[in-house]
Amino acid sequence: METRTAVLFIIISYFIGSLPTGYLAAKFVKGIDIRTIGSGSIGATNVRRLLGQGWAVFVALVDMLKGALALLLAAHAGTASSPELLALSAFAVVIGHNYPIWLKFKGGKGVATTYGTMFFVWPYNSFAIVLMCGAVWYGVMKASRYVSLASMLSLACMPIFFYMLDAPLAFTLLAAALAALSIFRHRSNIVRLINGNENKVK
């Protein structure tokens, strides 16, 4: 694939990721800028605080599908033959979600989009890896009732699972980079966890 075409699909991936699902849902349902409540994030967890469980599930699914769509387009365009280019497209879609140009680069924390992206990055092995990470998320969340902790720990396991399955280096590095990005985006949650005042799921 020509460099210009590869760059084009990386840019397309960014704009797919930048669709601010949670922001649009909050505006449509209640006319509220979701960035002004709760954690200030546009992700599903903050949507749940404002709109309830149903809308939170909807936002999470759409955010996952953004990642899936970007990867499927990149694969169809031929980047599937290059793990490096596919990894760059995957990273771009999560960056788009976290730093959307439409909201002055103030977006979500990228957990759902990372899951949707990584699910399709290395079929069929990545299907199993994401499901294992999902099991980690569920176990930690049920034990602690902290969505933020469950999200960070589940994504931290992802590069380990990719490495254990002998994935292409680009995919293992991608998983590590997205885990690090998620932890960075959760830094305020980490402070609250340390101080003991992080919100629990009821």
pLDDT at 39: 77
Mean pLDDT of the chain: 90
177, part of any domain = yes
Domain that holds residue 58: 3-195
Q: At residue 109, does pLDDT exceed 80?
A: yes
* 174-189 tens-digit pLDDT: 999 999 999 999 999 9
Residue 201 inside a domain? The answer is: no
Structurally, the chain folds into a number of domains equal to: 1
Lowest mean pLDDT across 70-74, 103-107, 145-149: 70-74
Q: What percent of the chain is modeled with pLDDT above 70?
A: 96
Residue 146 token pair: 């902290």
- Which pLDDT value is given to residue 71? 82
User: What is the pLDDT, as a whole number, of residue 2?
Assistant: 64
Q: Is 200 within the bounds of a domain?
A: no
